[in-house]
Structure 1
Amino acid sequence: MRSILRTDPIARDVAALCAAAMVVGLSFGAIASAAGVPLSKIIAMNALVYAGGAQFLAVGLVGAGATAAAIVLAGLLLNARHLPFGLAIGNEVLGRRRILGSHLMTDESVAFALAQDDPARRRRAYWLTGISLYLTWNVSAAVGAIAGSALGDPDVFGIDAAFPAALLALTLPSLKERAAVRVAVAGAALALAATPLLPAGLPVLVALLALPLASTKLARNK
């Protein structure tokens, strides 16, 4: 196993990514369990929904007493980015296994695939990342849910900070352009301003209003 990781950069990067995903999965399981979500529903959500950010959002909205329609709408808006993702990888990566490939689609699997120049390596990177993250997420979230029921409030142990910390780590490499920094700062300001006024999870969606700043910058550069 170690020799494979040393000689295969894709496998090495995926292994490192899975290590980070494990921490996030444990965090989600513990938070969902502390919010009162039954273990059976946590496992079903992991297997059938498999959308980390949307799952965190759903648990937050459930805790805030949101309706099912609001939770579904919020999840759809949050995962709307998967539409251009699907167009970016298309049949070249998914081939005849589009349904399964779409279910395994994450930001990381698409990013790893598009980073490869060779079509064969692109397919391998996508499927290796997608399958590895899916298994890691399901196992770690289930373990986190079981442990969370015994730990009690996850805030006491700082587990709730794992997910935002992981998102920050994923975001930092993209903050090299001024437009990206502008959008990030504006989105954070909007989310903070909306936090006292809206139920948990919805301020994140309000932050999306900062996205036109990026398109305005691109239009000026043309």
Structure 2
Amino acid sequence: MTEQTALPDAPDAGAPPGGKPDAAVVRDALGVGVAVGLSGFAFGVTSAGSGLTLAQTCALSLLVFTGASQFALVGALAAGGNPLTAAAGAFFLGVRNAFYGLRLSQLLALPRAARPLAAQWVIDETTAVALAQPTRRAVRIGFTVTGLTLYVLWNLTTLLGALGAEAIGDTDAWGLDAAGPAVFLALLAPMLRTTTERAVAALAVLLGLGLLPVLPAGVPVLVAALAAPLVLWARGRRASDVGAGRGEGER
């Protein structure tokens, strides 16, 4: 860990100067954990409806524990996609968590023995809550409370959803297959603050939806992952052209 990226430690459980009360951090973390954790019910129903067994559905939530990847996997399987293609799409969606981990490792500065356990909770929601905190103490509290709440609720509601899938019947008719993705979109939208981020999101949506009718299930997700490098390439090309134009003008 480098000293330049270290956060100040809060001296007590109150509200230190420039800090945040522990109770406020816990409240925010619980709000995110509960709101997203309940959508595990939709995943359980969707997974069971796609043909996965109760054990397989619960194993995905216990071991994979990254909602967007889980929905991508079962969605592709439900649409008749190849299992390898479905798994590849889920994998590429989950790769982002590795980059989150690089940043969180600096902020959390956890003991080496605790890092493998903490890695299981490195997802969108825990990262968002942790990055919003001003001190290392608050980062650790936010990450832990969000991760614990979300992990317990997500797995519990996954189980309940899978068990109730037969009683519900046609999951598509209830629209529960769209509930999980809708939650993630609602959480993601406020984070798209720059023009580049919005352009990447818009292009990814266009690629994913536009290619659905022509490519096998699961493949559009893989192609949509190209949105980021394409936008960054176009931005770099534009900056290069602008610089060249200015150089010509100065001559």
Tell me the TM-score normalized by structure 1. Answer: 0.87
Distance 1:120 1:218 in 2: 38
Q: Is the 8 A contact 1:109 1:130 kept in 2?
A: yes
Deviations 1:15-66 (A, max 9, x none): 2223322342111000111112111111122111112111111212323444
| Higher share in helix | 1
Q: Report if aligned partners of 1:25, 1:144 keep a CA contact under 8 Å in 2.
A: yes
Call closer, same or farther: CA 1:12–1:53 in 2, change over 3 Å.
same
Q: 8 Å contact 2:126–2:142 — kept in the other structure?
A: yes
Following superposition, the deviation at residue 199 of structure 1 comes to 2.9
Aligned pair in 2 of structure 1 residues 197, 82: CA closer, same or farther (>3 Å)? same
For 1:62 and 1:160, locate their aligned partners in 2 and report how far apart those are by CA, in whole Å.
13
The amino acid across from 2:147 in the alignment is G
Comparing 88-97 with 122-131, greater Cα deviation is found at 88-97
Displacement of 1:216 after TM fit?
Answer: 4.1
Structure 1 regions of 5+ residues with no counterpart?
1-5
SS of 1:116's equivalent in the other structure is coil
Corresponding residue number in structure 2 for 1:150: 167
Q: In the aligned structure 2, how far is the partner of 1:60 from the partner of 1:214?
A: 27
Q: Does 1:34 align with 2:78?
A: no
What is residue 59 of structure 2 aligned with on the other side? 44
In percent, how many aligned pairs have the same letter?
Answer: 35
Q: Which runs of 5+ in 2 are unaligned?
A: 1-20, 244-251
Distance 1:117 1:12 in 2: 15
Q: Secondary structure at the match of 1:36?
A: coil
Tell me the amino acid that sits aligned with residue 215 of structure 1. Answer: L
Question: Is it true that 1:95 corresponds to 2:111 in the alignment?
Answer: yes
> What residue in structure 1 maps to residue 8 of structure 2?
none
Q: Which residue of 1 aligns with 2:224?
A: 207
Q: Which has the larger radius of gyration?
A: 2
CA distance in 1 between partners of 2:129 and 2:179 (Å): 22
Q: Provide the TM-score with structure 2 as the length reference.
A: 0.78
Q: Which residue of 2 aligns with 1:112?
A: 129
- Cα shift at 1:142: 0.7
Seen in structure 2, the aligned counterparts of structure 1 residues 124 and 218 have a Cα distance that, compared at 3 Å, is farther
Q: 1:214 to 1:8 in 2, by over 3 A?
A: farther
SS at match of 2:39: helix
Between 1:90-99 and 1:45-54, the stretch displaced more is 90-99
The CA RMSD measured in Å over matched residues stands at 2.3
Q: Distance in 1 between matches of 2:203 and 2:81?
A: 26
